[in-house]
Amino acid sequence: MEPDFPIPHGFRWQYDLIRFIQSWHISWLHPLLGAGTWLGVEGFYVVALPFVFWAVNKRLGLRLAYIFLCSMYLNSWLKDFFQIARPAGVPGIRFAHLSTASGYSMPSGHAQGTATFWVVVGRCLRRRWVWPLIALLLFLIGFSRVYFGLHWPLDVLVGWGIGLLVAIVGWWMGEWWTYRSFPFQVQMALALIIPAALLVLHNGPSAARYGSLLLGIGAGAVMEAKYLDVQLPSEWWRRACAVIIGMAGLIALQWLIKWPSDGFVWVLLRDGLTGLWGTLGAPWVFERCGLYQRAAATA
């Protein structure tokens, strides 16, 4: 049946596919896909990225944060470049009013972000049995965006492709960087110049947040490696306590800087300090509390 309203060129097959998918009436499908779409929200990464750095592996955590944030910066730039509207509001398409839907549609941030994050995690784990689970998770999250009318199918396909590409290239660059011993001044210069250049190239609200986070994370990591160089302890309870303290610091920081104003400058300041807390402030607190020790002390 032909729709009684104009559809942009190349979108008819996407419209029909969304309508077909949304015609399914399976009782367990809605809550399952609802759980899947929430795995790609900002709150998940706010917990997951610091957790990896504070309690799993500092090098992996830093690499994961850099690759993921660069991927999301690129996603923000591409959305503003293509400026494709979401299918929400198109007659015949049901739209789930979730707080995870805002801005433009192409490419899907959920699809790209999860592909980037979990492919890097899979490369780190180096276990074949992990990849089918990752593929299933990525499909679940991407499919949920179409099922709930939050994205066109092509948004998800492009998001998957870009996320995979960024993860592979980012991992390779991380491996290259690991085996280079640059002086402190060079590392600090790169940690400051690269995010600053990203902020100049594209300073949209989302892109500015990612650039500011990269600035704080990078500068903090360089200073932590030179002046602290804490080692993660073997006792799980020490790592658990560190995560609790670190998360409490993040929450306090977000609230304190949000209190004066929600303006653009305050957002940049908040996210820059958030990154600095994650890689420098929190490790310093962990060391002062006796949870972690410096490498020199354990040598």
Q: Is residue 38 located within the same domain as residue 176?
A: yes
Phi first, then psi, for residue 255 (nearest 5°) are -70, -45
Distance CA 162, CA 171 (A): 14
Q: Is residue 175 located within the same domain as residue 36?
A: yes
Angle among Cα 169, 174, 176 to the nearest 5 degrees reads 95
The answer as to whether 47 is a domain residue is: yes
Q: Kindly indicate the confidence band of residue 264, based on its pLDDT and cuts at 50, 70 and 90.
A: low
Percent composition of the chain: helix, strand, coil (DSSP 3-state, to 5): 70, 0, 25
The pair of structure tokens assigned to 158 is 């492009």
Give the pLDDT confidence of 21-72 residue by residue, as tens digits.
Answer: 888 877 777 777 777 777 778 788 888 999 999 999 998 999 999 999 999 9
102 within 8 A of 151, measured Cβ to Cβ: no
Summarize the confidence of residues 251-273 as an average pLDDT: 76
Q: Is residue 118 located within the same domain as residue 171?
A: yes
* pLDDT exceeds 80 at position 78: yes
pTM, rounded to two decimals: 0.88
254 within 8 A of 275, measured Cβ to Cβ: no
Contacts of 143 (CB under 8 A, 6+ apart): 21, 33, 36, 156
DSSP letter, residue 108? P
How does DSSP assign 245-274, residue by residue? HHHHHHHHHHHHHHTT--SHHHHHHHHHHH
- Ranking 22-36, 67-81, 136-150 by mean pLDDT, the lowest is 22-36
* pLDDT exceeds 60 at position 298: no
Q: pLDDT value at position 287?
A: 92
**Between residues 268 and 115, which one has the greater pLDDT?**
115
Q: pLDDT value at position 2?
A: 57
Q: Kindly indicate the confidence band of residue 138, based on its pLDDT and cuts at 50, 70 and 90.
A: very high
Q: Is residue 222 located within the same domain as residue 166?
A: no
Range of the domain at 58: 27-180
**Between residues 36 and 155, which one has the greater pLDDT?**
155
Distance CA 2, CA 16 (A): 10
Q: 125, 147, 180 — which closes off a domain?
A: 180
The answer as to whether 188 is a domain residue is: yes
Q: 129, 161, 180 — which closes off a domain?
A: 180
Q: pLDDT value at position 168?
A: 94
* pLDDT exceeds 80 at position 203: no
The answer as to whether 13 is a domain residue is: no
Summarize the confidence of residues 73-85 as an average pLDDT: 90
Q: Is residue 158 located within the same domain as residue 188?
A: no
**Nearest alpha-carbon partner for 33 in 100, 104, 129, 78:** 100
Q: Is residue 161 located within the same domain as residue 187?
A: no
* pLDDT exceeds 60 at position 4: no
Q: Is residue 117 located within the same domain as residue 37?
A: yes
Q: pLDDT value at position 73?
A: 93
Q: At what angle do helices 109-125 and 42-51 cross, to 10 degrees?
A: 20
Q: Kindly indicate the confidence band of residue 144, based on its pLDDT and cuts at 50, 70 and 90.
A: confident
Q: 124, 155, 180 — which closes off a domain?
A: 180
**Nearest alpha-carbon partner for 225 in 252, 188, 269:** 188
Q: Is residue 248 located within the same domain as residue 221?
A: yes
Q: Is residue 139 located within the same domain as residue 224?
A: no
Residues of the chain above pLDDT 90, percent: 41
* pLDDT exceeds 80 at position 219: yes
Q: Is residue 143 located within the same domain as residue 230?
A: no
**Nearest alpha-carbon partner for 203 in 73, 101, 85, 79:** 73
137 within 8 A of 114, measured Cβ to Cβ: yes
The answer as to whether 6 is a domain residue is: no
Quick count: other Cβ atoms within 10 Å of Cβ 231?
A: 16
Q: Is residue 81 located within the same domain as residue 134?
A: yes
Q: pLDDT value at position 3?
A: 63
Q: Is residue 243 located within the same domain as residue 295?
A: yes
The pair of structure tokens assigned to 179 is 């085996």
* pLDDT exceeds 70 at position 99: no
Q: How many domains does the chain have?
A: 2
Phi first, then psi, for residue 7 (nearest 5°) are -115, 130
CATH assignment at residue 119 = 1.20.144.10
Quick count: other Cβ atoms within 10 Å of Cβ 274?
A: 23
Phi first, then psi, for residue 180 (nearest 5°) are -115, 135
87 within 8 A of 18, measured Cβ to Cβ: yes
The region, left, alpha or beta by phi > 0 then psi within -120 to 50, assigned to residue 92 is left
